[in-house]
Amino acid sequence: MQTFVIILYLITLGALALYGIHRSALLILYLRHRRERTEPSARFDEADLPRVTVQLPMFNEMHVAERLIKAASNIDYPRDRLEIQVLDDSTDATSAIARETCTSLRSEGVDVVYLHRQDRTGYKAGALAEGAKHAKGELLIVFDADFVPGPRIVRELVHFFVDPRVGMVQARWAHLNRAHSLLTRCQAMLLDGHFVVEHAARHRSGRFFNFNGTAGMWRKSTIADAGGWQHDTITEDMDLSYRAQLRGWKFVYVPHISAPAELPCDMTSFKSQQYRWAKGSMQTATKLLGPIMRAPVPSKVKQEAFFHLTNNVAYVFLLVLALLQLPNMILRRQMENPELLMLDVPMFLATCGSVALFYITAHRDLYGNRWQAVKQLPVMMALGIGLSINNARAALEGMFGRDVEFVRTPKRGVVDGEATKPSRYRGTWPWHNVLELAFALYCTATLTVAVVTQSWASVPFVLLFSAGFSYVGCVSLYETLGVRFPRGEAKAFGQGEGVASTQLPSTHSSPSPQSMFS
């Protein structure tokens, strides 16, 4: 048993260190291409600007629907070449709000179309596919309900499509409510690492990168050539991205162009979002890793695709590591030569050191202040660890499950400087919250043992595990008990007032039953 625990411990650390080394490699690629700036090879003349359709998919977004539609109507682009599609699958008062807003804008001369499906076949992918059939534009730009697109974004992105090889252009996400709370600051830091370092490193070094589901513009013919929007994963954006790039389409990332979005204000919504991303990436890995490895693309593309699509497996190893900390400490004290296990020191450094440098670099390059990142880093790392039960469960379900139900993240319409607004949407109690609290107690006991036995080298790491599980578990329980939610509101996401509305026929059959690291 002693040998088994030690070997499993070292294998777990080795796997985490491998993903840490990959993160370091991405950081090196980013630094190597840091000063490059992506610009279009040419620009359209005003008279030759292509027709663009702005697609706004939404489902039960009464708090932000009007804000999004009005922001889209303020986009600075020739009115005879700009169409807005509101793709509304809502079952509550959102439908009335969206339809009324569209009616008002049409009276002002805005080309806005309100499309409502009777069923949610394909979820967001299904809505986008149905919208594309009716779209007037040869280019499609997508904005989720939590975004507020600026007036210049279409003009800024459209010129990249002068190059006929370009199939998609992705803008960076900015944050409407980054300073709202400790949770939103940590979320912003995680996302900034993805958009500042990961996307730039992959794009500029010739690797594949993915459309992020929103704030990106597509050539409509690219979507059709790649097989269209498919809904056999819950990250239809990542799935289509890899299929399109395998077909030879060029993707462009422009970090100097940004679109602001609202970050989830509460832990329940944040976990729901993370769960969807983690599960969907593993579903995409299961679906596409085989074709990617067999494709006639460079080995560097295949290697990066493997790490990109499987990186949520790291959360499974994090859970195993949390469980092994206590027996590993006890076994070390019983060994005659415990220094033989000092191999774990460089592995820990490879994992934690890469995380620190990765996010500090992203924060410094975006905001010009590394010390703010240094102060936030321990909390962000603890949050990432605390999410490991939620995300490990999602990763395992993505690998072995068949469920492809799309559960959207509820928004509240909050921006910096505003108090948290009450929401009509509320999630049901997550059963795995019990596991989070159990791991919090276990890791706190492990921390106590580390202090009592004077295992000082283990204390910082065990403290992160204890703090992370305690933070995520206790905040989740606090929200579940209804402390931040008034009584009598909807019991589950998506429940609310039913509103009759115009129907857009669906041609699909019913669906089958079925990123610290991401």
Selection from 502, 499, 408 nearest residue 115 by Cα: 502
d(CA 208, CA 230): 19
- Which residue, among 279, 477, 286, 310, has the nearest Cα to 393 in the 3D structure? 279
Q: Which residues is 373 bridged to in the sheet?
A: none
144 noted as active-site residue: no
| Catalytic residue selected from 92, 144, 146, 237 | 237
Contact 247, 226 (CB under 8 A): yes
C-beta of residue 372 within 8 angstroms of C-beta of residue 359: no
Q: What Å distances lie between residue 40 and 43, 160, 161, CA to CA?
A: 7, 5, 8
Catalytic residue among 89, 144, 146, 344: 89
Nearest to 203 by CA among 38, 365, 35, 25: 38
Closest alpha carbon to 473 in 404, 398, 383: 383
Written as one letter, the residue type at 242 is Y
Under a CB-based contact definition with an 8 Å cutoff, are residues 201 and 29 in contact? yes
> Which ranges in 74-122 belong to alpha helices (H)?
94-106
DSSP three-state, residue 256 = strand
Q: Is the distance from CB of 259 to CB of 243 less than 8 angstroms?
A: no
Angstrom CA distances, 209 to 122, 241, 256, 273, 513, stand at 23, 7, 17, 20, 29
Tokens of 256: 């100097």
162, with CB counted inside 10 A (0-12, 13-18, 19+), is middle
DSSP 129-179: HHHHHH---SEEEE--TTB---TTHHHHHHGGGGSTTEEEEEEEEEESSTT
Query: Among candidates 43, 131, 64, which has minimal Cα distance to 423?
Result: 64
CA–CA gap between residue 28 and residue 209 (Å, rounded): 17
Active site residue 192: no
C-alpha to C-alpha distance for 109 and 14, rounded to whole angstroms: 61
| Sign of CA pseudo-dihedral 455, 458, 459, 462 | negative
Of the candidates 312, 301, 284, 311, the one whose C-alpha atom is nearest the C-alpha of residue 21 is 311
Write down the H helix ranges in 404-503. 433-452, 459-480
Residues annotated as catalytic (active site), given as ranges: 89, 237
